[in-house]
Amino acid sequence: MKKFKFKYGLICVVITGFCFNTAAAQKGYAADSLQIKAYTSIIYRNTKVKEIKLLKVFCDYCNDKQLESVGNQAIIITEGEKYKAENRLENGTKKLALFIRVSKKDFQAIKDD
C-alpha cells in the first residue's frame, strides 16, 4: 500500500513539474514578441478570387515602414487562407481578422528609410 501511495505521489509531482515548465515557456514567448491585428478581405466572383485587400492594421506604435511590412505579411497569410473551405464563397466578400506575431528584435530592425 505504501508503494502505491509513493508512486501516486511521484506521478503527481512529475505532472505538476511539466505544467509549470509549460507555463514558463509560454511566458517567455509572449514576453519576447508583439501581436499585431490586421483585417483583410477576399472578394469572390463565381467562386474565383477576384481581389485580396488589406483593410486595416491595428498598431499604435508602428512607423510607416513597419505598417507596410505587417500589411504585406497579412496579405501573404490571406493568400494562403483563400483556398480553405471555411473561407470560400460563391459570390461576396469574406473578411478575415489576423493576428501576426513578430519578435521585438525583428520588429525593431524594420526602420524608416
Which grid cell sits at 83?
A: 483556398
Task: Tell me the percentage of the chain whose pLDDT exceeds 90.
Answer: 38
- 61 confidence band (pLDDT: 50, 70, 90): confident
The C-alpha atoms of residue 30 and residue 1 are separated, in whole angstroms, by: 44
Residue 38's closest CA among 80, 87, 77, 84? 77
Q: Are residues 43 and 92 in the same domain?
A: yes
pLDDT at 25 exceeding the cut of 70 = no
Same domain, yes or no, for 4 and 47?
A: no
Same domain, 97 and 68: yes
Domain hosting residue 108, numbered range: 33-113
**pLDDT, tens digit (0-9, with 9 covering 90-100), for 5-24:** 556 655 655 566 665 555 55
- Share of residues in the chain with pLDDT > 70 (%): 72
Q: Over 60: is that where the pLDDT of 55 sits?
A: yes
Query: What's the rounded Cα separation, in Å, for the pair 46 and 89?
Result: 8
Counting the structural domains of the chain, the total is 2
